[in-house]
Amino acid sequence: MALTPVEIRHLELHRSWLRGYKKGTVDKLLAEIADSFEEVWRERADLADRLDELEVEATKHRELENLLRSTLVSAERAANDMKEQARRESDLIVKEAHAEGRKLMRETAAEKQRLDEEIRRIRGLLRSALEHLDEQPTAEEQEKPEEPALPQPQPVADERPESSIRQVAG
């Protein structure tokens, strides 16, 4: 049976007929036992209070741990989602760049073909112009008007008098 310190203090011991006890010594011993027991009870109560505080604190720490764990899991998910989204965006950008590159290549090929056709057309025009020029008389030939052929004077035997020659020369 467990006794409280108060019960120990109010404990009364009955004397037997044959043997007795020294009341002062026994009362002093009971007082020391009661004091010691009281101190143990106080310590027990303090420890129980401390245990309650620690249990509350441990509960808070467990809740905080669970919160941190869920936050960490959420952060990992968010990071993975962001990585996946960045990967998808980069794939999309690469696809768009490839499509734009193919478009530019098609446009460049079309422009090259157009320029090649234009070069062929201009070369054809130049050939025809050169052929036309070859058929036309040169500028020197065009500048010389064709003169009617004059009869060449023929030497005539001395039919003229010498005086007429002098007149012309003189």
Q: Which of 26-30, 35-39, 107-111, 124-128 has the lowest mean pLDDT?
A: 26-30
* End-to-end Cα separation, the chain, in angstroms: 186
Cα–Cα distance, 76 to 79 (Å, whole number): 5
**Is residue 170 over pLDDT 50?**
no
pLDDT in tens, 105-156: 999 999 999 999 999 999 999 999 888 888 876 656 666 656 555 556 565 5
Cα–Cα distance, 85 to 49 (Å, whole number): 53
Rg over CA atoms, the chain: 68
pLDDT in tens, 81-97: 999 999 999 999 999 99
State mean pLDDT over 70-90.
96
